[in-house]
Amino acid sequence: MTDVPSIDPRTGATVEIVAAETTPEQVDQFARQALAAAGPLDAMGRHGRAGLLDRLADALDTAREQIVAVADRETGLGTTRLTGELTRTTYQLRLFADVLRDGGYLEATIDHAADTAMGPRPDLRRMLVPIGPIAVFGASNFPLAFSVPGGDTASALAAGCPVITKAHGSHPATAQLCFDVLAAAASDAGAPDGTLGIVHGQQAGADLVAHPAVRAVGFTGSTVGARALLAVIEQRPDPIPFYGELSSLNPVVVTPAAASDRGAQIGADLVSSYTLGAGQFCTKPGLVFLPAGPDGDATLAAMGEAIADTTAMVMLNAGIAHAYRNRTADLRAEPGIVTVASGQTTDTTGSRGTPLLLTTTVADLPAAATEECFGPVAVVARYRDTAELLAAIDGLPSSLTATIHRGADDPLLLADLSGRLLTRAGRLIYDGYPTGVAVSWAQHHGGPWPATNSQHTSVGTSAIRRFLRPVTWQNAPADVLPAELTDDYDTIPRRLDGDPYIPGRR
Between CA 425 and CA 418 the distance in angstroms is 10
Q: What is the arrangement of strands in the sheet containing 242-245, beginning at the earlier edge strand?
A: 196-199, 163-166, 134-137, 216-220, 242-245
User: Rounded to the nearest whole angstrom, what is the least distance from the CB of residue 343 to a copy of itself in the complex?
Assistant: 27
Q: Of these residues, 74, 161, 178, 282, which one is catalytic?
A: 282
User: Rounded to the nearest whole angstrom, what is the least distance from the CB of residue 48 to a copy of itself in the complex?
Assistant: 17
Residue 439 interacting with a copy of itself (CB under 8 A): yes
When the beta carbons of 127 and 358 are compared against a copy of itself, the nearer one is 127
When the beta carbons of 107 and 334 are compared against a copy of itself, the nearer one is 107
Between CA 499 and CA 97 the distance in angstroms is 26
User: Rounded to the nearest whole angstrom, what is the least distance from the CB of residue 360 to a copy of itself in the complex?
Assistant: 23
Span near a copy of itself by CB under 8 A; candidates 115-123, 166-174, 328-336, 368-376: 115-123
Q: Which of residues 331-370 bind a copy of itself (CB under 8 A)?
A: none
Q: Mask: binding to a copy of itself, 383-412, rule CB under 8 A, as x and -?
A: ---------------x-------x----x-
User: Rounded to the nearest whole angstrom, what is the least distance from the CB of residue 38 to a copy of itself in the complex?
Assistant: 8
Report in angstroms the alpha-carbon separations of 486 from 27, 472, 480, 494.
39, 13, 10, 11
**What residue type is assigned to position 235 of the chain?**
Q
Span near a copy of itself by CB under 8 A; candidates 103-111, 161-169, 300-308, 371-379: 103-111
Nearest Cα residue to 475 out of 95, 101, 213, 114: 114
Q: Which of residues 450-469 bind a copy of itself (CB under 8 A)?
A: 450, 453-457, 460, 462, 466, 468-469
Residue 39 interacting with a copy of itself (CB under 8 A): yes
**Does residue 245 have an active-site annotation?**
yes
Candidate residues 31, 93, 100, 110; the one interacting with a copy of itself per rule CB under 8 A: 110
Residues in CB range of 372: below 8 A, 6 or more apart: 247, 248, 249, 286, 450
What DSSP state is assigned to residue 21?
Answer: P
When the beta carbons of 391 and 502 are compared against a copy of itself, the nearer one is 502
Q: Mask: binding to a copy of itself, 410-429, rule CB under 8 A, as x and -?
A: -x--xx--xx--xx-xxxxx
User: Rounded to the nearest whole angstrom, what is the least distance from the CB of residue 408 to a copy of itself in the complex?
Assistant: 11
Candidate residues 64, 126, 262, 325; the one interacting with a copy of itself per rule CB under 8 A: 126
How many of the chain's residues bind a copy of itself (CB under 8 A)? 89
Torsion angles phi and psi, residue 360, rounded to 5: -160, -175
Candidate residues 9, 51, 76, 132; the one interacting with a copy of itself per rule CB under 8 A: 132
When the beta carbons of 55 and 88 are compared against a copy of itself, the nearer one is 88
Span near a copy of itself by CB under 8 A; candidates 64-72, 126-134, 155-163, 294-302: 126-134
Q: Which of residues 212-231 bind a copy of itself (CB under 8 A)?
A: 215, 230
Q: Of these residues, 74, 85, 245, 484, which one is catalytic?
A: 245
Distance of CA 133 to the CA centre of its chain: 20
Candidate residues 84, 225, 350, 366; the one interacting with a copy of itself per rule CB under 8 A: 84
Question: Counting Cβ atoms within 10 Å, is residue 10 exposed (0-12), middle (13-18) or buried (19+)?
Answer: middle
Q: Characterise 130 by phi-psi region: left (phi > 0), alpha (psi -120 to 50), beta (else).
A: beta
* Inter-residue contact 495 to 501 (CB < 8 Å): yes
SS3 361: strand
SS3 352: strand
Between CA 276 and CA 80 the distance in angstroms is 12
Between CA 107 and CA 189 the distance in angstroms is 27
Q: Mask: binding to a copy of itself, 271-310, rule CB under 8 A, as x and -?
A: ----------------------------------------
Q: Mask: binding to a copy of itself, 473-492, rule CB under 8 A, as x and -?
A: xxxxx-xx------------
* Inter-residue contact 134 to 161 (CB < 8 Å): yes
**Does residue 282 have an active-site annotation?**
yes
For the chain, the distance separating the N- and C-terminal CA atoms, rounded to the nearest angstrom, is: 62
Q: Which of residues 41-70 bind a copy of itself (CB under 8 A)?
A: none
Distance of CA 140 to the CA centre of its chain: 12
Q: For the residues of 321-350, what is the DSSP string, one character each?
A: HHHHHHHHHHHHTSTT-EEEEE-B-S--ST
Residues tagged active-site? 245, 282
